[in-house]
Amino acid sequence: MLGTLRQKVFSTGVSSSSVIGQSLLRIRPSFSATRSYASSVKEMTVRDALNSALDEEMSADPKVFVMGEEVGEYQGAYKITKGLLDKYGPERVVDTPITEAGFTGIGVGAAYHGLRPVIEFMTFNFSMQAIDHIINSAAKSNYMSAGQISVPIVFRGPNGAAAGVGAQHSQCYAAWFGSCPGLKVLAPYSSEDARGLLKAAIRDPDPVVFLENELLYGESFPISAEALDSSFALPIGKAKIEREGKDVTIVTYSKMVGYSIQAAEILSKEGISAEVINLRSIRPLDRPAINASVRKTNRLITVEEGFPQHGVGAEICASVVEESFEYLDAPVERISGADVPMPYAANLERMAVPQVKLF
């Protein structure tokens, strides 16, 4: 990632995008520097942020309920639903058999009738078993019914590359669901993102795909007093500038935000000022924020774990070329996962997703 960023700023020609295929060094991102949070009073893990958001929304609205595999007695495969069964009972925290198509269909039907289901997938890879209900039953109903059917449902769970679980369990679905009209697609990075966006998703009248990251659940982030208020929610469709800069714009989401921040911090020591934009929302996409940043820095890099072809980065690059081409001083650049199914071996897995620094 660093090599590509340096080339983007200093090269007058087309910079290389071969960074993905090289042996790369994983550097744990630093979460303490450069991000600004208003009146930070404590730190909170992403796991606890999601748990508290669910708890507060279930307390505020009796129509909200949680359904999925192991969400009750086991308290969630990743403990996101910890304590909710004891507090709200089995009618609102519903353990299901291993049948994504079944419980997703039940959830969509419940949303048709005015309830607000939160459907947990143990991993979003398993959402493929339920993709007919997510897209054909949930996403299209409002439009096809001329607004008569509202589907207030949230589909949530871990998305993207995990660790050592192979190709069937390590894939990013942001581009898949982000291409479908009728869905809203969110991808939080920090605890404040997770808490504010999940609350907004549960309150929203439309179906929301909520893409968490398994490797971020245990990470702690500063969280403001404002974000700890039970009324807190973040606006859907608004990106956040995590780090301001003037030489190059880095647009990214989810776990890659941390990597991009650390890369920007390293580059700052070399005199390169990188602006890092945390998308937060994949659909709707905050095109005005992206284009405004590019018109200031005149260069664009996108960073994502997903596949390069038809990816989120490809859509962002197309948007900038369409709306801000005359402001670009260099070709747009995409950094993404390798165009291969995720390898199982740890060394190959590291080579298949973006890293901060080369060997």
The residues carrying an active-site annotation are 100, 169
Question: What is the CA 15 to chain-centroid distance, rounded?
Answer: 27
Cα angle 10-15-19, degrees, rounded to a multiple of 5: 115
A 10 A CB-CB count for 304 gives 30
State the burial class of residue 28 (Cβ atoms within 10 Å of its Cβ: 0-12, 13-18, 19+). Answer: exposed
- Do the Cβ atoms of 263 and 274 come closer than 8 Å? yes
Q: Over the range 43-79, which residues count as b (16 or more CB within 10 Å of their CB) and which as e? A: ebbbbbbbbbbbbbbbeeeebbbbbbbbbbeebbbbe
- Do the Cβ atoms of 253 and 189 come closer than 8 Å? yes
Six-digit token string for 13: 């020609």
Six-digit token string for 319: 């948007």
Six-digit token string for 146: 């001329």
| Alpha-helix residue ranges (DSSP H) falling in the chain | 2-10, 46-60, 84-88, 100-112, 131-132, 141-144, 174-178, 191-203, 256-268, 287-297, 312-324, 346-352
Query: What DSSP assignment string belongs to 179-229?
Result: TSTT-EEE---SHHHHHHHHHHHHH-SS-EEEEE-GGGTT-EEEEETTTTS
Question: How many Cα atoms occupy the beta-carbon half-sphere of 140 within 13 Å?
Answer: 10
Find where tokens 């020591």 sit: 269
Find where tokens 């990188």 sit: 274
